[in-house]
Amino acid sequence: MTDDTLADAEIAALMLRHPKGFDLSLDRIARLLEALGNPQDKLPPVIHVAGTNGKGSTIAFARAMLEAEGLAVHVHTSPHLVSWHERYRLGQRGAPGRFVDDATLADAIHRAAIANDGAPITVFEILTAVTFLLFSEHPADMALVEVGLGGRFDATNVIRQPAAALVSTVSLDHQSYLGDRVELIAAEKAGIFKKGSPAVIGQQGDDGALDTLRQRAASVGAPATIYGEDFLAYEEHGRLVFQDGGGLVDLPLPRLPGRHQLANAALAIAGVRAAGVAVSDRALEAGVTAAEWPGRLQRITSGPLFDMAVPGSELWLDGGHNPGAGTVVAEAIAEMEDKSPRPLFLIAGMLSTKDPVGFFDAFAGMARHVFTVPLRTTDAGLSPDELADAAFDAGLDAEPCDSVEQAIRLISTGWTSRPAPRIVVCGSLYLAGEVLRASGLSPR
């Protein structure tokens, strides 16, 4: 027996009756929420966050800042890495929020399933309804709600009047659902903008995405605050400087590694301010340094996998799985390389719906070798052979393996020179969850 048995059993029952994927529409969840008494209309002020990359980190920063100010903050994120409970963090006044306990989650899932009464719906929609049920029944000062897929027709987009709607970096991903051009994807993300609610647009690497987001905010009457125009962040003398119309705030560099986290922290600050929350500089500083976001450039320093590596090795984990994520991870690794050169090895697993060549392109000329592995917790992964072929197509040496463990052993036996290697396990949140579970590092 595990602590998760009750909720897992309820979710397993849902999986037998309903589809596991996405079916982008709001009709089914609106019907279910009506049967539940429309809990989405009984929430504390909501900051709604969409984007291709960076939305989870943005939420982590915002949560840490708000909690440092003493506020109780509900947080919904998806997908989870190890446990379904990670999707539902309930705020507590005077203390950090905690993942929902098993009995409470199981009860909410059971009530949502009964209210649905067997009608057609996806599992994600039921679990999103559970978010609103839980958040409406437990008092808090704020709620941070991450979009699952897209924005316009995502099940979370029944929030009528968010305190602020944020869009982080937009790039190509989920093209079969959202479109094959970044402008089309940006238009879907911008579907969370609502008339009269502030729209906060994070750093965009594509002018087409930025123009689309700006135009959609204007068309619905959402006052827009835009990175690079109304606010920005930069590093100066080893510090993070945030600037907006109110002036400059001098902060420590984020605890989360990677230059891209400066822009994510800035989006969080701008989003919290746009939502009308007065957060002190002290709380901003505490939030920037306290924020955690598991599975995203997370350094593994203990556990069986770490122990298998050559002594002195670095073992890193990142669940990014699209070309944009590959770029920011490669840039972060390049910064590490400048400070501490080491041979780089990748261990990668990836879903069949992703663009592996686009992901691996970012590491061309950096990685000495790629070991490709299967995903054990889903049947939708690319085979190691197919993934190795994709790495070859991106100009990388690669070979398939049976597991992360085998890959680490091969690196350990094949690399005996100094310095010890830098190993990055990457390509999938499923793989990130598997590594965290094997390392005894489940998110808290």
Amino acid (1-letter code) at residue 408: I
Considering 248, 266, 288, which residue would you say is the last residue of a domain? 288
**CB of 59 closer than 8 Å to CB of 129:** no
Residues 118 and 90 in one domain: yes
Q: Tell whether 444 is covered by a domain.
A: no
Residues 347 and 266 in one domain: no
1, pLDDT greater than 50 = no
**CB of 303 closer than 8 Å to CB of 438:** yes
Considering 288, 323, 348, which residue would you say is the last residue of a domain? 288
Residues 117 and 242 in one domain: yes
Average pLDDT, the chain: 94
Domain region containing 186? 4-288
**pLDDT digits 0-9 by tens, 19-40:** 776 677 899 999 999 999 999 9
**CATH number assigned to the domain comprising residue 60:** 3.40.1190.10
**CATH number assigned to the domain comprising residue 323:** 3.90.190.20
Q: What is the pLDDT of residue 179?
A: 54
Residues 244 and 341 in one domain: no
Residues 361 and 380 in one domain: yes
Q: What is the pLDDT of residue 99?
A: 97
4, pLDDT greater than 60 = no
348, pLDDT greater than 80 = yes
Residues 361 and 404 in one domain: yes
Q: Tell whether 181 is covered by a domain.
A: yes
Average pLDDT over residues 53-71: 96
Residues 148 and 280 in one domain: yes
Residues 281 and 306 in one domain: no
**pLDDT digits 0-9 by tens, 171-227:** 866 554 555 589 999 999 999 999 999 999 999 988 999 999 999 999 999 999 999
2, pLDDT greater than 70 = no
* CA 100/CA 351 separation, integer angstroms: 29
**pLDDT digits 0-9 by tens, 234-291:** 999 999 999 999 999 999 999 999 899 999 999 999 999 999 999 999 999 999 999 9
Residues 185 and 328 in one domain: no
What is the total residue count of the chain? 444
Chain centre distance of CA 216: 24
Q: What is the DSSP letter of 22?
A: -
Q: What is the pLDDT of residue 416?
A: 82
Q: What share of the chain is helix, strand, coil (3-state, %, to 5)?
A: 40, 20, 40
Average pLDDT over residues 145-173: 93
Dihedral angle sign, alpha carbons of residues 37, 43, 48, 54: negative
Q: What is the pLDDT of residue 172?
A: 67
Q: What is the pLDDT of residue 87?
A: 97
**CB of 387 closer than 8 Å to CB of 348:** yes
* CA 417/CA 378 separation, integer angstroms: 36
- The count of structural domains within the chain is 2
